[in-house]
A and B are shown apart, each in its own frame.
Chain A
Amino acid sequence: MAEAAITQPQVFTRRASGLVRVMSPYSAFIYNILTMGIIFPWTFLWAPAAFQGSNLILGIVFAFVFELPIALAYAWLATALPRSGGDYVFQSRVFGGGFGFTIVFAFFVVWILQWVALSGWLMAALGLAPTFFGLAAATHVHAFASIGTWCASSNGIIVISILNAFVSLVLLVSGFRNYVRFQYVMWYGILLSFGFVLLLFLTTNPTAFHAHINAFAQAVDGVKNFFGQARAAAATAGVNFHPPFYLFGTLMVAPIAWTSLQWATYSVEQGGEIKNAHVFRNQMFILVGSLAATAGLLILLAAVMNHGVGHDGVLVASSGYWLGNSKALIGGGFMVPNLMAMALTGSWIVILLIGFGFILNSFQIVCNCYIGCTRIMVAQGLDGLLPDWFSRVHPRWKTPVNAHVAYFLAAVPVIIAYNKVAGWSTKWALGVTFANGCVFVFSALAAALLPYRAKKLYEASPGAKYKVGNTPLVTILGAIGFATAVFMVGAFLVVKNLGLAYANGKVPYYVVAGTVALGLVIYAVMRAVKARRGIRVEYAFAEIPPE
């Protein structure tokens, strides 16, 4: 008699210990969305005046399409190497330690210090100032407007930025689980806030908006016919309110929107803390899912702003930011989307809810600067490329306290310079767009080369089974992602209204090159110090052949 077939054989286990990780894929998904910053105002403040005639929605779609192969390629990297240190680990493994260290140290660890300053600016200018202006308009208590004006001033931004960074330091040092717990508060807070912004734009029209913003500006600054004056000044400053469609400008919106969407892959920096990070569908959800969700929300915001604020309103707001149109400022602050939404409601509760969400997301940005960069510093410390001191984990709090404190201290002068040094934001800070983008360029290339440069590792990964003909799918995606990322980074490098070329000089290029030189010097010094002790740092990255 034939034996009955076994259709689902079990896997047998014995009494042996197991390994568990901290962060759920859903938490990592949220982390990426918050990192991409649906609150970032640049797509709406920068692009309309810088590239007049561009289509914001189409520009965001381009950014999504350009980022998609990069995010997909990262899914292969993250499942093959599910470790904390992400980009540093990928690039070190594929290109070697010297390259991986230099690129990631220079372009992430050093340049993300600018993001610490930027997150303080976001907290002050995008979160607190508009909220106080909104409260002033809703309650007619002028003291709120004065507080808002102080928040938007350089001194106010410096104080708020340092406090923002310090509170984040304390939260993260107290334990990563405390951050993960608080992340849910930030997530639901920003969702509620963003929902109100969308609803307020959706339920108004440009004519009503003009009346509301006039009343709002009068309550804050005592200005009459604010919008009429701001529109006239914008026209004088060079805004064409009836431009023809501008395809190249629309393409150039993509790099600006990419300053948000490029962070879809940031969770890889703590890959060692994500549960089942080696499972392909989890990484697709975390990386590609968060990208699609954020792009969708940005497109939705662009669409409802066009509906509620109107084309003219968007251009006037942008002229205040990009063309220095002082008539388009309210309380000294820019007409950011949340401020315009607050102007549409008379409810102080709604104003507080909108403000709360934007403040929380600003706080999350500084948290993720610390989380990502301290993990990279710990990984580099353990690899012997930074002093051991950086990699030490505090025995009580179980967190890399030294790396956190060092990063906070390094950020303080950058915060002060960002707000006090003339031209900093155009000569120095814009390098961050190019520098951060470069990390993604090289990681996309690392993905393309993974099957050839780390063959065994790749073959053991779940993505190895996906091929097109004989070519690994990750090679195709990585190559496409490399090309699209080079296009956007190249735009930051040479296009006048983007990134480094804006300053009309060589200083920004020297600054970027200087950070690379700093990385190379640190690598060379640490390599020499280790060699004197009988250790070669190259061993940290070299893969041993099993045969």
Chain B
Amino acid sequence: MKFWRKGKPGGEPTRIFYASDIHGSEPTYRKFLNAAKFYDVDALVFGGDLMGKLLVPVVRDGNGSWVASLQGTVRHLESPEELAAFTARLDTLGFYWFECEPDEYRTYEGNQERIDGKFDELAKHRLAEWVTLAEERLAGSHVRVYLCGGNDDTDQVLTALDEMPEDRAVHCENRVIDLDDAHTMVTIGYSTPTPWLTPRERSEEDIAAEIERVMADVSDPTRCVFNFHCPPLDSSLDTCMKLDASVWPPAPILVNRQPVYYGGGSQAVTDALERYQPLVGLHGHIHESRGSVTFGRTPAYNPGSEYGEGVLRGVIVAIRDQEVVGQQFTSG
């Protein structure tokens, strides 16, 4: 197969498309799959945070219409067409939704456990559909899509990645993947603790230990791609507002009416990039911190995320031998 001759010295580079943090957005995920053909790349690498963040109940009102809230506005949907347009908008935004009667709706009010259960049910269903879609779209090509969770995803939902036969869609987390016959990739989806108390946060020590564990199976780090959801600490790929975790939802900390910024990344990731000098670091997590930085010989990228607008932000990285020979940020 052509792909397996790529990436070697003197040959054509292997081209990877990386994106992250699409948070349930249906059109953004579909764009991600189509990026393989559109950008003519050899592998699609996802950096974590597959799950959406909001669940919108669409309540039947008994008169053939529906009522729902979105972005602070109550929407009265008078026809199936209006309902379809509204739910399509929710899909774009990455929100989950379900139709219900008023009595059913009331069973969710104030019951976070039941809400979380519904989230998991709908998110797992959507993820399973996405895996199936990946198998369909990439069938017959040499391209694989490498999927993993981020700190916002629950382990329960991520089981959908393991319950499907791996052909084109591969669950790549916490193990070593052969990208081609010259390059490997390791993936870690955890983040350091956040004010949002998300499902898959780990201490610096735990992340460092996880990196050590997975790197034990990598023979040549200089040909290895680091797909770490959490960016390196204080690297400019992790700049975000400091939030007050004592209130819910966490609010920006203001000094003289101005927000305070800090690095929301991981020191363990920084240490790993500096110590192993891998081929490239691919990171997400901090949506607003799009950019690139280098650690010695190693470039690290965070393409950012604008999933809510249906925009797929990503980066194409061309690798050959022990070198990144080209890169291009995209906004598709």
- Measured CB to CB, the residues of A under 8 A from B are 2-22, 80-83, 89, 175, 177, 180-181, 184, 272, 278, 382-384, 388, 391-396, 398, 456-457, 460-461, 530, 533-537, 539-547
Contacts and interface: CB of A to CB of B under 8 A. Distances in A.
Given A14-B119, A534-B12, A546-B30, A540 B329 contact: yes
A530 B328 contact: yes
A534 B15 contact: yes
B291 A15 contact: no
B115 A14 contact: yes
Contact of A11 (B61, B70, B118, B330): B70
Contacts of A388: 292
A19 B318 CA distance: 30
Contact of B326 (A4, A394, A534, A546): A534
A17 to B, nearest CB: 4
A398 B236 contact: yes
Interface in B82-133: 89, 92, 95, 101-103, 105-106, 108-109, 115-116, 118-119
Contacts of A21: 288
A3 B326 contact: no
22 contacts: A8-B69, A12-B108, A14-B115, A14-B116, A18-B249, A20-B243, A82-B309, A177-B258, A177-B259, A382-B290, A382-B292, A398-B236, A398-B261, A457-B310, A457-B311, A460-B92, A534-B12, A535-B328, A537-B328, A544-B31, A544-B34, A544-B35
Interface in B277-332: 285, 287-288, 290-293, 306, 308-312, 316, 318, 325-332
B241 interface: yes
Given A9-B59, A15-B196, A16-B198, A398 B328 contact: no
A544 B332 contact: yes
Interface stretch (B49-57, B159-167, B170-178, B217-225): B49-57
B258 A398 contact: no
Given A18-B249, A456-B27, A542-B332, A3 B62 contact: yes
Nearest to B58: A9
Contact of B316 (A16, A19, A460, A535): A535
B152 interface: yes
Contacts of B293: 392-393, 395
A395 B27 CA distance: 34
Interface string B129-156: 0000000000000000000000110000
Given A9-B68, A398-B236, A540-B331, A534 B310 contact: no
B177 to A, nearest CB: 21
Contact of B252 (A4, A11, A20): A20
B9 interface: no
Contacts of A394: 236
A456 B310 contact: yes
A6 B109 CA distance: 12
4 closest residue pairs by CB, A with B: A533-B326, A544-B332, A546-B30, A535-B326
Given A16-B196, A539-B330, A544-B332, 11 more contacts: A17-B196, A22-B259, A384-B327, A393-B291, A395-B235, A530-B328, A533-B13, A539-B328, A540-B331, A544-B31, A547-B34
A184 B332 CA distance: 37
Nearest to B68: A9
B199 interface: yes
A394 B56 CA distance: 40
A353 to B, nearest CB: 23
B312 to A, nearest CB: 6
Contacts of B30: 546-547
Contact of B53 (A16, A382, A392, A395): A16
A15 B325 CA distance: 39
Contact of A278 (B53, B309, B316): B309
Contacts of B102: 3-6
A210 B310 CA distance: 63
A502 to B, nearest CB: 41
A382 B258 contact: no
A17 B196 CA distance: 5
B203 interface: no
Nearest to B235: A395
B67 interface: yes
A10 B56 CA distance: 7
Contacts of A540: 328-331
B239 interface: yes
Contacts of B58: 9
A3 B197 CA distance: 37
B69 A272 contact: no
Contacts of A542: 38, 330, 332
B306 A83 contact: yes
A59 B102 CA distance: 59
B244 to A, nearest CB: 12
B295 to A, nearest CB: 11
Contacts of A20: 240-241, 243, 252, 259
A383 B329 contact: yes
Contacts of B57: 9-12
B154 to A, nearest CB: 9
Nearest to B306: A83
Interface in B251-268: 252, 256-261
Contact of B39 (A181, A383, A539): A539
B257 to A, nearest CB: 8
B62 A5 contact: yes
B74 interface: yes
B25 to A, nearest CB: 10
Contacts of B285: 17
A537 B326 CA distance: 11
A392 B294 CA distance: 10
A384 B325 contact: no
Contacts of B95: 11
Nearest to A278: B309
Contacts of B116: 14
